[in-house]
């Protein structure tokens, strides 16, 4: 399993390393654009509303044997809801979308409301085209005011041995207030038009951010499984050494007892 994860990890690592600079720059454009459109009605994805209904997107894995990878996401999601959205939870206005079987299982055991599950997304090769319809449906939930805030909880890939548990506000688009004050509202020239940019660029950026979170989680999963399997192999090897030593001690004691019985029997016959 370690070898299989190592092969998959290499591909997932390459994918996230190549995607991050593009996603980062696109997100920067998104925040700047959202800032410039803040006072217009066209900025559907940055509308700050009173938080009545909350949606949490949990990204876990379909398979286990990867240490605390899945349980950490579940604990973080539940902790986030209990601490940050306790009032909404009490009113029954907190829902979850899960990507990965382990996330759905953890929520069902605790009787949380699950809006939808997308376990099949992690089966086979993940592509942007597979993720796009799901991202669009989630964005539409916000635009239709079915939810006032949407957050994503997942493991961010750091390296093969380290995963960073992360939660990010997906919608509404979060604008850096300090940056806004420093920039004093830059004057942007929109080509072809504000409407066209809002319809094309902002949704595309949000889809890329969603896709990046899933790719991050997949790379982190394979890294976690490699580490878990490596530790399991080391522990099994250590256990095997201890068992072999105990077996040899017991075998030696048994042989010694047999020799003593034979010697004792011989002495008794001489007498």
Domain of 154, in residue numbers: 2-229
Query: Is 263 a domain residue?
Result: no
Evaluate whether residue 165 is within a structural domain: yes
CATH number for the domain harbouring residue 172: 3.40.1380.10
Residue 121: inside a domain: yes
* 250: in domain: no
Q: Is residue 85 part of a domain?
A: yes
SS3 191: coil
Helix (H), strand (E) at residue 168: strand 162-171
Give the separation between CA 86 and CA 97, rounded to whole angstroms.
18
- Structure confidence at residue 186 (pLDDT): 56
Report the predicted TM-score, pTM, of the whole model to 2 decimal places. Answer: 0.80
Based on the structure, what is the number of domains in the chain? 1
CA 41 to chain centre: 33
Q: Is residue 239 part of a domain?
A: no
Q: Residues 118-141: pLDDT tens digits?
A: 988 888 888 999 999 999 999 999
Residue 82 belongs to some domain of the structure: yes
**pLDDT score of 182:** 46
Continuous segment of H or E residues that includes residue 157: strand 149-159
Residues of the chain with pLDDT under 70: 33-42, 175-188, 194-195, 198, 271
Q: Using one digit for the tens of pLDDT, what is the confidence trace for 183-219?
A: 445 566 777 776 677 677 888 889 999 999 999 999 9
- In 2-73 the beta strands, taken as DSSP E runs, fall at 54-59
pLDDT at residue 39, as a whole number: 54
With respect to residue 243, please indicate whether it lies within any of the assigned structural domains: no
């Amino acid at each position: 399993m370690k070898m299989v994860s190592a092969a998959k990890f290499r591909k997932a690592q390459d994918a996230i390393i190549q995607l991050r600079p593009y996603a980062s720059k696109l997100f920067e454009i998104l925040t700047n654009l959202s800032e410039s459109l803040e006072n217009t009605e066209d900025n559907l994805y940055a509308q700050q509303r009173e938080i009545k209904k909350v949606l949490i997107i949990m990204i876990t894995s379909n398979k286990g044997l990867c240490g605390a990878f899945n349980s950490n996401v579940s604990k973080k999601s539940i902790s986030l809801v209990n601490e940050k959205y306790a009032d909404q939870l009490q009113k029954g206005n907190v829902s979850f979308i899960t990507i990965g079987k382990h996330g759905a299982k953890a929520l069902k055991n605790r009787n949380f409301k699950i809006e939808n599950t997308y376990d099949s997304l992690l089966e086979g090769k993940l592509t942007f085209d597979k993720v796009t319809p799901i991202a669009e449906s989630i964005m539409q939930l916000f635009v239709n005011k079915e939810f006032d805030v949407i957050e994503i909880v997942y493991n961010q890939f750091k390296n093969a041995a380290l995963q960073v548990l992360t939660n990010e506000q997906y919608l509404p688009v979060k604008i850096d207030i300090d940056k806004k004050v420093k920039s004093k509202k830059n004057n942007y020239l929109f080509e072809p038009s504000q409407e066209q940019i809002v319809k094309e660029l902002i949704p595309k950026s949000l889809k890329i951010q969603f896709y990046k979170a899933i790719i991050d989680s997949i790379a982190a999963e394979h890294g976690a499984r490699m580490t878990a399997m490596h530790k399991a192999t080391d522990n099994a090897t250590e256990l095997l050494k201890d068992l072999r030593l105990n077996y040899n001690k017991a075998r030696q004691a048994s042989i010694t007892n047999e020799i003593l019985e034979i010697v004792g029997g011989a002495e008794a016959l001489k007498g």
